[in-house]
C-alpha cells in the first residue's frame, strides 16, 4: 500500500472535514434542484387544471344563463297574453 503520510492520502487525512462538507453541500444542492424541478412541474399542472376548471364553470354558467333567458322569455310571453 501507499505511505499514509504522503500524497493524496495525506490530503484526505488532513482535510477530511472540508471534503465531507463539500460532498454534503453538493448532495444538498442536487436535492434542492430536483425539488425545484418537481415544484415547477406541479405548478404547471395546477395551472392547467385551473384553466380546465375555469372552462368547465364558464360552460355551466352559459348553460344556466341560456335556461334563465328561456324562462324570462316564457314569463314575458305569459304576461303579454294576460294583457
Predicted confidence (pLDDT) per residue in 24-78, tens digit: 999 999 999 999 999 999 999 999 999 999 999 999 999 999 999 999 999 999 9
Residue 25 domain-assigned?
Answer: yes
Question: Does residue 79 surpass a pLDDT of 70?
Answer: yes
Q: Which domain covers residue 47, as residue numbers? A: 7-82
Looking at the whole model, is its pTM more than 0.85?
Answer: no
**SS3 at position 55:** helix
CA atoms of 46 and 38, how far apart (whole Å): 12
pLDDT of residue 2: 54
Does residue 59 form part of some domain? yes
Locate all alpha helices (DSSP H) within 3-15, ordered by sequence: 7-14
pLDDT of the residue at 21: 96
Domain count, the chain: 1
* CA atoms of 24 and 26, how far apart (whole Å): 5
The pLDDT, as a whole number, for residue 45 is 98
Are 4 and 13 spatial neighbours (Cβ–Cβ below 8 Å)?
A: yes
Are the C-beta atoms of 4 and 10 separated by less than 8 Å? yes
Asked whether residue 2 is assigned to any structural domain, the reply reads: no
Whether 29 is covered by a domain: the verdict is: yes
Amino acid at each position: 500500500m501507499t505511505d499514509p503520510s504522503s500524497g493524496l492520502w495525506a490530503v484526505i487525512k488532513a482535510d477530511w472535514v472540508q471534503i465531507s462538507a463539500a460532498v454534503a453541500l453538493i448532495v444538498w444542492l442536487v436535492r434542492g434542484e430536483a425539488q425545484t424541478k418537481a415544484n415547477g412541474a406541479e405548478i404547471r399542472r395546477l395551472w392547467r387544471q385551473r384553466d380546465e376548471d375555469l372552462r368547465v364553470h364558464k360552460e355551466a354558467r352559459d348553460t344556466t344563463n341560456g335556461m334563465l333567458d328561456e324562462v324570462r322569455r316564457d314569463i314575458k310571453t305569459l304576461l303579454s297574453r294576460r294583457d
